[in-house]
Amino acid sequence: MSAQPQPNGPAGSRSDTTAHLDPHVVVVFGATGDLARRKLFPGLFHLWQAGLMPEKFQIICSSRATLDSPEAFPVMVLEAVRAFRGEIESEMWRDFAARIRFVAAPDDDYGDLAQAVRAALKELGSDAKSLFYLAIPPSATESVVRVIGTFGLNEGAKLVLEKPFGRDLQSARQLNATLHEVFDERQIYRIDHFLGKEAVQNILALRFANGLFEPVWNHQHVCYVQIDVPEQLDIQGRSEFMESTGTFRDMISTHLFQLLGFVAMEPPVRLDADSLHHEVVKVFRAIRPLDRDRVVFGQYEGYCDEAGVDACSVVETFVAMEVHVDDWRWVGVPFYLRTGKALAASRRTVTLGFREPPLKMFPGDVDTTCNELVLELTDDPKIFVDVRAKVPGPELALGRGRMRIDLQEAFPGSWPLEAYERLLLDVMRGDATLFTSTEEVELIWALCDPLLKDPPMPQRYPRASWGPADALKLPGERGWRLPD
């Protein structure tokens, strides 16, 4: 194999980030699918381009489909990388492509694949690790996990799984039992790609690297929290997925609860996987049983006319809800969660509203809006604090002002990784901090099961709106921060 690209991304050299990465055989199941094409191949290539892949690695791609010419598979990978990452240098591509091969597993016959993985491990040396990425439908997960075990490929390997991790507590427990028959918990990496986003990790940085925020990050100073993830896109042809999953299982019991865990957790003793999971688990344990009367399900007008959707479908494409974390820090503070498809804007906004000062001492001050700390968790992250300030002039009149940090402006030349890239790198580093543990998954299902067994009927909402009227009223007089 030819020379490795030099790191051109994060500050420092390879030795900072990847010097100790063991050689890896990355095995992608579902390699002809959408996730592999949109995220995994472009992500792996980008890591390689940035010098963030291990010095020695191979990528073995597999699917049930047999290809007319498997040797042409790297060309399909190249097209995917170009489509999602733009043009690439041909010399660099040749070096990367030389490490990719396709091995079909027709009719669930994984013999050739197992042989290819063993051969690759042997070639890369005794410290080589395999990383199995299951980019496959949930119905296939358990059988593929068993196959890995049957061929004895689980030893020392890492397993990466995509959501959903079951669809209720019982199925999650069954899935976890199967996983644990073959893998130890420490070998399992459940991806929630929201946790790989730079901006989400910024919640940790803001809270625990500053003396300013953490002292007021509690019920004595905060009167509400909103975690708002509206999406403009509708289901974009994913009718089968939406009909079987719904927005609650797709977004709330996964991404939004994980965000809530990061916002609400106590300071961990260390920033490592065990300490963070310990704190997130405590938050999930403290969540009060969900109150069906404080949950609004919605469905956008025209959803039932989408191809592949049942004409009488009652699947929700929108959820807004109130959640309480009954612990010492958050008692009495409502957390409002909202997400949905075909809404007026696409945002990922976390807002903390602060209590008003105890005394209104400025004449004529009738403004009852709270100071708000707003975290925009976009790929171009920003943090705002909305405050009241004196309007310049002869009178002591108040107006609303804004303190703002634009992270890209603050750190020009910084080099963010896309969420999947960051998480793939973490798996290779063996760092499970940003992944979801078995305990978290089961606690969330235990919390959500009663609601999902008896969900509210979805209320219709117009496309490009902010959801059903009842959802708009949920946070009371102050309403939602968005639209702002």
Cis peptide bond N-terminal to 42, omega within 30? no
Cβ atoms of 141 and 170 closer than 8 Å: no
Q: Site for ligand BG6 (CB under 6 A): how many residues?
A: 3
Closest to ligand BG6 by CB, 99 vs 193, is 193
Tell me which residue has tokens 């042997």. Answer: 122
Give the max Cα distance, the chain.
Answer: 83
Catalytic one of 255, 277, 278, 324: 255
In the bound complex, what is the minimum distance in angstroms from residue 250's beta carbon to ligand BG6?
Answer: 5
Closest to ligand BG6 by CB, 40 vs 182, is 40
In the bound complex, what is the minimum distance in angstroms from residue 231's beta carbon to ligand BG6?
Answer: 5
3-state secondary structure of 460: strand
Considering Cα of 88, then 92, then 96, then 102, what sign does the dihedral take?
positive
Any contact of residue 421 with ligand BG6 (CB under 6 A)?
no
In the bound complex, what is the minimum distance in angstroms from residue 290's beta carbon to ligand BG6?
Answer: 21
The CA distances from residue 225 to 211, 316, 325, 368, 370, in Å, are 20, 23, 11, 17, 12
Closest to ligand BG6 by CB, 44 vs 124, is 44
Any contact of residue 250 with ligand BG6 (CB under 6 A)?
yes
Closest to ligand BG6 by CB, 170 vs 232, is 232
In the bound complex, what is the minimum distance in angstroms from residue 193's beta carbon to ligand BG6?
Answer: 6
Residue type, 168: D
Any contact of residue 231 with ligand BG6 (CB under 6 A)?
yes
Closest to ligand BG6 by CB, 230 vs 268, is 230
Closest to ligand BG6 by CB, 250 vs 442, is 250
User: What span, in angstroms and rounded, lies between the C-alpha atoms of 108 and 326?
Assistant: 48
Burial class (CB in 10 A: 0-12, 13-18, 19+), 364: exposed
In the bound complex, what is the minimum distance in angstroms from residue 337's beta carbon to ligand BG6?
Answer: 15
In the bound complex, what is the minimum distance in angstroms from residue 162's beta carbon to ligand BG6?
Answer: 9
Please give the helix or strand (H or E) that residue 114 lies within, else none: helix 111-124
User: Which residues 6+ apart lie within 8 Å of 295 measured at CB?
Assistant: 319, 320, 321, 322, 451, 455, 456
Secondary structure percentages of the chain, helix, strand, coil, to 5: 40, 20, 40
User: What span, in angstroms and rounded, lies between the C-alpha atoms of 292 and 281?
Assistant: 23
**Range 173-212, binding ligand BG6 (CB under 6 A):** 193
Does the annotation count 180 as an active-site position? no
Whose CB is nearest to ligand BG6?
Answer: 250
The CA distances from residue 212 to 200, 205, 262, 267, 356, in Å, are 19, 12, 18, 14, 18
User: Which residues 6+ apart lie within 8 Å of 229 measured at CB?
Assistant: 251, 255, 256, 338, 339, 347, 348, 349
Closest to ligand BG6 by CB, 78 vs 252, is 252
In the bound complex, what is the minimum distance in angstroms from residue 454's beta carbon to ligand BG6?
Answer: 24
What does DSSP assign to residue 473?
H
Binding interface with ligand BG6 (CB under 6 A): 193, 231, 250
Give catalytic residues, as residue numbers.
255
